[in-house]
């Protein structure tokens, strides 16, 4: 008896089975589509955030040794307001309006030139929101920073001027700083330049945070330890002890802040007076070997924390005095959340300032167009007179 021919379904099933038996997909780990690519490990983003931060610090320490800029020449130009103008696209967003003396308002170019020459001249810190630096116990210094306005103080050619962090002119006054008083020019001792990084407190005191140029000697290329312990503690006190007192030639007091070893942070906070704690804004941490690097970029070798964040981030800080804990805002959760919220508010503020600046620019442009139209219409209506 002849067997019936196979049906179409049977032929298709047998074909699928034979293909399945002859073909197989390797299950090796490197061919699994759900696994990372084998070269993924070579990509830089594979490093953790802590490793990337440590690499930034090492690269910056190496790169700063290769600089050969003539900082003293730059400082003299800053004192003379002769630094070249910046391009428009280099301006930061959210710049505040500049304040100038009436004597300077008559020259429209002078305030702009002063603003641009004194902008981005202080060293900026980063929020400390990652793991502690590997060399924190031995290579870092701390400074307690009081509340106030960060500013640049420029003394030279017989006058002392204060500028905001963004370069806005604030005031001019005499001082006992080298080059900051006209009386020294008459005696032949005023041809000096001094640049200080300060925090100006409400009570009229300049808290000296750092020294960039002192009596025409540049200290930009000196490490933090030298600038702090030689200049702030010894040199200033020896050269101009009068800056710590008010007088007719020194209306504002200059007080150098006192840096200390990072391991002493707890004992400093415990021994501080309540009045000093109440005025405390935060703590700056400096790497010993970092040089003074002004500019727009944040420096990973200079870290900043609010005093109530110290227990979370700083190793060795087990507890804080109650006076320090009381400084925390009511909505405070932790350092990471606080910094994220702060950055978001700052971003919105800059965006609003940029929109306001654009709106003002558009209004000015519309006014210019209307004025041009008026002048054209007025000139067209005025018929030329014919000579008789």
DSSP 51-82: HHHHHHHHHHHHHHTT----HHHHHHHHHHT-
Q: Give the range of the structural domain holding residue 238, as residue numbers without chain letter.
A: 48-85+97-337
Taking the C-alpha atoms of 225, 229, 231 and 237 in order, what is their torsion angle to the nearest 10 degrees? 170
CATH code, domain carrying 221: 3.30.470.30
Phi, psi of 160 (to 5 degrees): -120, 130
The reply to whether 6 falls in a domain is no
The reply to whether 129 falls in a domain is yes
Which ranges constitute the DSSP H helices of the chain? 8-22, 49-64, 71-80, 102-105, 109-117, 136-139, 182-186, 224-226, 236-239, 265-271, 274-278, 310-313, 322-325, 335-381
The reply to whether 36 falls in a domain is no
Each residue's pLDDT, cut to its tens digit, for the chain (388 residues) gives 556 666 656 767 777 777 666 655 555 555 566 666 666 655 555 566 767 777 887 887 777 766 655 566 666 666 666 544 333 333 343 333 333 333 333 333 344 344 457 888 999 999 998 888 888 989 999 999 999 999 999 998 889 999 998 889 999 999 999 988 877 655 555 578 899 999 999 889 999 999 999 988 889 888 999 999 888 888 888 888 889 899 999 999 999 999 999 889 988 988 888 888 889 999 999 999 999 988 888 899 999 999 999 999 998 888 888 999 999 998 888 888 998 888 888 888 888 877 777 776 666 666 666 676 666 666 665 555 555 4
Domain count of the chain? 1
pTM for the full predicted model: 0.69
CA 287 to centroid of chain Cα atoms: 16
The reply to whether 357 falls in a domain is no
The reply to whether 305 falls in a domain is yes
The reply to whether 54 falls in a domain is yes
The reply to whether 346 falls in a domain is no
The reply to whether 385 falls in a domain is no
């Amino acid at each position: 008896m002849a067997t019936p021919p196979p049906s179409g379904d049977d032929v298709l099933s047998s074909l699928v089975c034979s293909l399945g038996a002859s073909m197989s997909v390797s299950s090796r780990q490197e061919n699994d589509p759900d696994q990372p690519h084998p070269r993924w490990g070579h990509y830089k983003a594979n490093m953790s955030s802590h490793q990337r931060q440590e690499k930034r610090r090492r690269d910056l320490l190496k790169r700063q040794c290769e600089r050969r800029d003539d900082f003293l020449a730059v400082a003299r130009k800053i004192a003379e307001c002769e630094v070249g103008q910046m391009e428009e696209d280099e301006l930061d967003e959210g710049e505040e309006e500049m304040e100038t003396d009436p004597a300077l308002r008559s020259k429209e170019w002078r305030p702009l030139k002063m603003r641009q020459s004194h902008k981005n001249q202080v060293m900026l810190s980063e929020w400390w929101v990652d793991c502690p630096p590997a060399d924190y116990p031995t290579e870092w210094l701390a400074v307690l920073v009081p509340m106030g306005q960060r500013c640049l103080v420029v003394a030279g050619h017989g006058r002392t001027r204060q500028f905001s962090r963004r370069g806005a002119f604030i005031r001019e006054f005499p001082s006992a700083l080298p080059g900051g008083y006209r009386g020294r020019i008459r005696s032949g001792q005023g041809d000096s330049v001094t640049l200080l990084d300060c925090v100006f407190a409400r009570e009229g005191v300049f808290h000296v945070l750092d020294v960039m140029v002192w009596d025409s000697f540049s200290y930009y290329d000196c490490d933090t330890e030298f600038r702090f312990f030689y200049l702030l503690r010894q040199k200033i006190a020896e050269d101009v002890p009068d800056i710590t007192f008010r007088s007719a030639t020194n209306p504002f007091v200059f007080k150098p802040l006192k840096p200390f070893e990072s391991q002493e942070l707890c004992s400093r906070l415990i021994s501080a007076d309540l009045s000093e704690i109440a005025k405390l804004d935060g703590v700056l941490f400096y790497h010993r070997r970092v040089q003074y690097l002004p500019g727009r970029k944040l420096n990973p070798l200079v870290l900043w924390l609010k005093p109530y964040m110290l227990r979370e981030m700083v190793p060795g800080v087990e507890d804080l005095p109650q006076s320090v804990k009381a400084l925390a805002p009511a909505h405070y959760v932790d350092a990471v959340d606080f910094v994220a919220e702060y950055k978001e508010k700052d971003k919105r503020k800059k965006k609003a300032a940029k929109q306001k600046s654009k709106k003002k620019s558009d209004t000015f442009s519309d006014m210019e167009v209307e004025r041009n139209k008026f002048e054209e219409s007025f000139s067209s209506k005025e018929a030329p007179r014919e000579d008789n």
